[in-house]
Structure formats: C-alpha cells, structure tokens
Structure 1
Amino acid sequence: MNTVIAFIIIFGALVFFHELGHLMLAKRAGILCREFAIGFGPKVFSFKKNETVYTIRLLPIGGFVRMAGEDPEVIEVKPGYNIGIHLDNQGKVNKIILNNKDKHPNAKIIEVEQADLEHDMFITGYEEGNDEQLQRFEVSERAFFVVDEQETQIAPFSRQFASKTLTQRTLAIAAGPAMNFVLAFFIFLTIGILQGTFINEPILGELTKDGSALEAGLKQGDIVTSIEGTSVDSWNDVVEIIQKNPDHEINFSIVRDGQTMQIPVTPDIREIEGKSIGIIGVYKPMEKSFVAAIKNGFVETYLWTKEILVGLGKLVTGQFSIDMLSGPVGIYDMTDEVAQSGIYYLMRWAAILSINLGIVNLLPIPALDGGRLLFFAVEAVRGKPIDRHKEGMVHFIGFALLMLLMLVVTWNDIQRFFL
C-alpha cells in the first residue's frame, strides 16, 4: 500500500508540474485554457475555477492542457439555426442557447442569418415573431454556448493558440518539460537542506551496522589524516586506499576530539564486475549548508541530465535494446524497491524520473512537446506555419505509435515482473 501511495504521489507531482508549466505560460499569453487534466480517459474528479476545468482522469498515463484552437471547435452556429440568446447590461450576447430553449423563457429566439464568433464577434438574424427585420447582435468575448444546460466558453481567435506569436507558442509548449527540470532541482535542493550534501573531505560519515569500520572502533566524525602512513587529503583518497586492500589489515591514523589515534581496520571484500575491492561500511561525509544545497541542486540536475542523455544515445545507437526500457509497471516495481531504502532515496528517484520525463518530452517525436517544437522551428525557417490538418495527422500517427510502444514496453515489464 505504501508503494501505491508513493507511486501515485510521484506520478501525480511529475505530471502536475509538467502541465502546470504549459498552463502558466499559455494563460500568460492570453490563451483560453479549457481543461487542465491529470491522466486520460473518464473523469474521476473535476472542478472549475475561472475559465479552466481541473480534472483527474482514470488512466494514469500522462496529462494535458486543452487550449482553445488546438483542436477544431466542436460547437458551431450556422445560418438557419434557431438559437436563444441572452444579453448582458451592455446589450451584448453573453449566452447562446443551442437546445432546450424552453428552459430559458427570458431568452430571445432568433433564426441565424450569419454568425462570426471568432473575429468580428457578431450574429445577425430574425427574431421570433419579427421575420422582416434583420437584426445584428454583438457577441461578448466572454460569452458561453449552452448545450444540454452545460456551458462552454466561446473562444475568439484572439484567445486561440494559433493567434499567438511564434515565441509565445514556443514558450507555452517548452514550459512543460522546463518545469520538470525545475522540479528536479527543487527536490535535490530539499534533500540537500534536510539531509545535507556530500563533501570530499577525509572525514568518516555514517557507519553501517555490519561494517568492519564499526567493528574496529571507528566513529562517525573521525578525521582521517593517513592510512598505512600515506597522507590523505580527501574522501576520494580514503576510498582509493580502502578499495585496494580487500581483506588486508590497514592502519588508520585519525583525529577524534582533538586527539590522534591509531586504529587497525580490515576491509571486507566486495565483488564488483568481476573485481574484488575493499569496503569498510562508511558513508561519504555530509554537511548542512543552504549554499551547498543550492549548488548540489544544480550539480545533481546537470549530472543526471547528462546520464540520461548518454543512455538515450546508447538506445539510438543500438547499445541498449527496447527490452531495457520500462513503462508504468516497471517504474512501479522500481519505486517499490527504492521506497524500502528510505524517504531521501525516494525523493531522489522522483527527481530522476522528473528529469527523464522532461528529456523524453523534448525529443523531436510527433505528439510529444519536442515534436511540436520541431514544427515551430520549421515555421520559423519557412516563415509560415505548416497546414494544421497535416500537422494534426502527423501528431495523431505519432501518438498511435507511442501508445503501441507503451503497450510493448508494459508487456515486457509484466513479463519481468512475473517471471
């Protein structure tokens, strides 16, 4: 149960901050954001605030921000339609009722002659009972369609995604992956503040309960000055000498409470990649410093970004196979293992997953943010956007292939999980 909770929290946080990046920059550009969703499929929970409906959906495989104009508007008003309209205090239409007009006795009923609800924002038509005089009604930019008593805000072209500058659209799309890197940085920063950051000093950190260091009498905080007569100036020096002496007694010269002491220690043997090395069961020393924590946040984010990019490079060159990829089942299984190691390991795992999500979404693959950014780059070069229908078809095919890849990866995860 703890693993399920941890997985839901981590997944939810990663998707939430990713989509929050899209939402913030889209709203800042003036784009009407109809929905902010965590997950896909049927709605489990929803509420509306201002113009946006916030939802949690059943299938935990991502999320989305539905921006006006990204998809064709599903509600239209065409000539010949009989509609009801409500007017605001300025005489502008603020509600357009498409059915169940009998439930709105105060609405004007008109037969539409012409309507422009994107650019000039007007409706002309004949009011019921007066079919000789054509009337024109100005439509408010914040008007709503009412269908089956459900309100949907009209999206003038000025509030649609396509109306914004190339820079605004690029920022709105790139902000999602960027937020994943920001989230990772703040997780690493928080770990550094709460747990401390590693330092490369010849000081003993926390000792394991079953290590030879504790058995020999070493203590956390001991300052190592030399080992077997060899002076040490850093933690890396200490580790190097220990690893070179598996199962051989070595003499530690340490300073404890201002006094110099000599303590013999026999490193245990550990096999790593067919090679025997010595270990004594001591963690690297740590210090608590806000400045060090900030530095650690940047360094960890950079190093893990580099590591993941190297891994992707190996996947492209064939050094990794698709069988080595993990989907939701594999990530859940790994989360279970990490959760057993403690909260800080779980936090670090969440940060790594966040970086991974940010990088994957930046790949120039249709249906991903990187694919959309690639289309923007082409638009910048050719000076005009690619046909929306053609771009939409490419993204649809890309999404279908991604879903197929996810099914294959998930099947591999299930096989590894049960076999």
Structure 2
Amino acid sequence: MPTWEKGIHVSKFAVGFGPILAKFNAKNVEYSVRAIPLGGFVGFPDNDPESDIPVDDENLLKNRPILDRTIVISAGVIANIIFAYLIIFIQVVSVGLPVQEAFPGVLVPDVRPFSAASRDGLLPGDVILAVNGTNLPKNGPNAVSEVVGVIKRSPKNNVLLKVERGNQDFEIGVTPDESFDGKASKVSGPVAIIAVGAEVARSNIDGLYQFAAVLNINLAVVNLLPLPALDGGSLALILIEAARGGRKLPLETEQRITSSGITLVILLGVYLIVRDTLNLDFIKDLL
C-alpha cells in the first residue's frame, strides 16, 4: 500500500477539482487531472468502505497523532502560499518587476457593459483626476483606494468625477448601483475567476503573473475557512479534539458535521456558477 508523509496511506492524488479529464493508477493510487484547474487534493482511504486496510491501522490518517494530522491537512494551504511566491519569482526572473509610470489620477482600464460607469458615460482609457472636488494623488494604491472607498460609501448617490479624456478635462456624475448588501460583490465562483483570468491574459503577461499569484493566496485563505468540506474544517475538528484532551468527537457527530458542510459548499458553488454565468457579458447581451 502506498504511503505519504511519515507513512500515511494515500488513495488519490488529483490536480484540479471537479470531473476527471484523465487518470491512471499506479501502486493502488489514482492519479488524475480534473476539469477545474484550481489547486488540487490528496485523498485518503480512511472512510472508504472498499478499502482493505484495517480500521485500526496506525498509518491511516485518522489514527495518526494530532501533530501529524495537522501537518498533513495544512500542506495544501502551505503549497498555495509557496506557489504564489514561486510565481512572483518566475515573473521577476523572466520579465522583471512591473514598472508603472506615475501620473496624477486613476486610469480606467475597462468599463463593463450595463454597469453604472458605462451608463453614466465613463469610457476605457479615461483618467479620473478628482472625486467630489478632491484631487487624487499620483497613480498608485492610495489613489485607487480613495476612488473605491468613495464609491462604496455612495450607493445610489451621485459621485462627481473630474475626468481627463485625451486632451480634454470635464466632469461626469456617476451614481453607483446598490446590490442587496449595499456593496460590490466580493465572492466569485470558478466561472468569474476564469473570465477575469481571460481578461488579464489579453492585457499583458505581468498582469497574468500577478493574477495567478493573488489567486493562490486567495485559495489558501478560503481553504482555511472552518467549513467541514475544507481543510479549515478538518483543522477545526482537530483543535476540538485537542481541547478535549485527545478525545475525538463521536463518529456520528463528525459525519453529520462533514455531510452538512459538503452540502453547504456544493450549494454555494452551484449558486456562484449560475450567478457568474448570468453576469458574463455575452449572456447579458442575449437576455
């Protein structure tokens, strides 16, 4: 039986998530490439009814000491962080650090159809010089944050923008839309992530490197959320076990928590896929 990390039994090793595109078996381990290219996972035979490993085998993950299980479960998160830094390193070695010319204001790289900015006359290539009469500093994080902050605080209220377009300066009044929570949505599913990645890929290689690095950091953070279907949920169960002096939760209770967490994640995933698909530009044009 194959082993991994201090002799722990492994049954699956996958790159990506979702439906299997290709797979092969070697030494009783299933290696696969899956449809959604976001990270990957390692499967363990601990609760596999078809496994011929005795339930009391000390090399099953569930029977290992708390420290061993913590290290194994944290490996995916650590890998995402290491990979993000590796991407930045490759960028520096291959294309160098991005150099951005400093100029007053904030450049508008793109305007989504049907958005408030599009409706009120803002165009790609415009440079926002001032917001509600306050001049912006030279292009950079502070200027962008200031514009975003004003917009977030002004749903359904008119925001006066001083805009430079070509050689002309003029003012545009923009009224930000308000969603159900009064802000811009911050949670995206795989459809939106792929769409953003495609847009970045069409712009420049520097942006693609940075997008990939940020995506890996975000995956690491999301994976640490204390949901039973994620690594953070498994770590939470281990912390509860440690707080109970090494006594595990009853198996039935643990299975109930895990199944409810998986159901929640699946429902959230379906919702995000449907919402993001309906928000794609060509879908909006059809509706």
Q: Which TM-score band (shorter chain)?
A: 0.5 to 0.7
- What letter matches 1:53 in structure 2? E
Q: Is the 8 A contact 1:36 1:53 kept in 2?
A: yes
The 2-side partners of 1:348 and 1:169 are apart by 32
**Cα distance 1:272–1:29, how it changes in 2: closer, same or farther (>3 A)?**
farther
Contact 1:44 1:56 in 2 (8 A): yes
Distance in 2, Cα, partners of 1:372 & 1:41: 20
Larger Rg: 1
Q: 1:193 aligns with which of 82, 87, 93?
A: 93
- Aligned residue for 1:340, secondary structure, equals helix
Q: Secondary structure of 2:277's match?
A: helix
Distance 2:213 2:273 in 1: 22
Alignment partner of 1:168 is 2:68: yes
Instruction: Please report the TM-score for the alignment, with normalisation by the length of structure 2.
Output: 0.66
Query: Which protein is richer in strand relative to its size?
Result: 1
Matches of 2:66 and 2:272, distance apart in 1: 35
Unpaired runs of at least 5, structure 1: 1-25, 77-116, 119-154, 199-204, 208-238, 245-267, 285-317
Identify the match of residue 413 of structure 1 among 270, 273, 276.
276
Cα distance, 1:183 vs structure 2: 0.6
The residue matched to 1:186 in structure 2 has which SS?
A: helix
User: Which one of the candidate residues 372, 378, 382 is aligned to 2:240?
Assistant: 378
Matched-pair contact (CA < 8 Å) for 2:56–2:63:
no
Letter in 2 for 1:347: Y
- How far did residue 273 of structure 1 move? 4.1
Q: How do 1:130-279 residues align onto structure 2 when only pairs under 5 Å count?
A: 157-197=57-97, 243=104, 270-271=128-129, 273-274=131-132, 275-277=134-136
Per-residue deviation, residues 98-157 of structure 1 (Å, max 9, x unmatched) = xxxxxxxxxxxxxxxxxxx62xxxxxxxxxxxxxxxxxxxxxxxxxxxxxxxxxxxx871
Distance 1:57 1:273 in 2: 46
Tell me, yes or no, if structure 1 residue 68 matches structure 2 residue 45: yes
Residues 229 and 262 in structure 2, CA contact (< 8 A), matched pair in contact too: yes
- How many residues were matched structurally? 219
* Residue 52 (str. 1) matches residue 48 (str. 2): no
Q: Deviations over 1:374-410 (max 9, x none)?
A: 1100110101111233212211111111111112122
Q: Give the Å deviation of 1:64.
A: 2.9
- Hey, what does 2:255 align to over in structure 1? 392
CA offsets, 1:74-102, max 9 Å, x none?
256xxxxxxxxxxxxxxxxxxxxxxxxxx
- Asked if structure 2 preserves the Cα contact closer than 8 Å seen for 1:30 and 1:159, the reply is yes
Kindly provide the amino acid, as one letter, of the partner of residue 73 in structure 1. P
Report the counterpart of residue 223 of structure 2 in structure 1: 361
Q: Do structure 1's residue 37 and structure 2's residue 14 form an aligned pair? A: yes
Residue 43 of structure 2 aligns with an amino acid whose one-letter code is R
Q: Distance in 1 between matches of 2:19 and 2:279?
A: 30
Q: CA deviation at 1:415?
A: 2.0
Verify the 8 A CA contact 1:269 1:277 in the aligned structure 2. Answer: no
Native 8 Å contact 1:270 1:278 kept in 2: no
Verify the 8 A CA contact 2:201 2:208 in the aligned structure 1.
Answer: yes
2:231 and 2:22 map into 1 onto residues whose CA distance is 26
In structure 1, the residue corresponding to 2:43 is in which secondary structure? strand
Q: Which consecutive unaligned segments of at least 5 residues does structure 2 have?
A: 106-125, 141-180
CA distance in 2, matches of 1:364, 1:399: 12
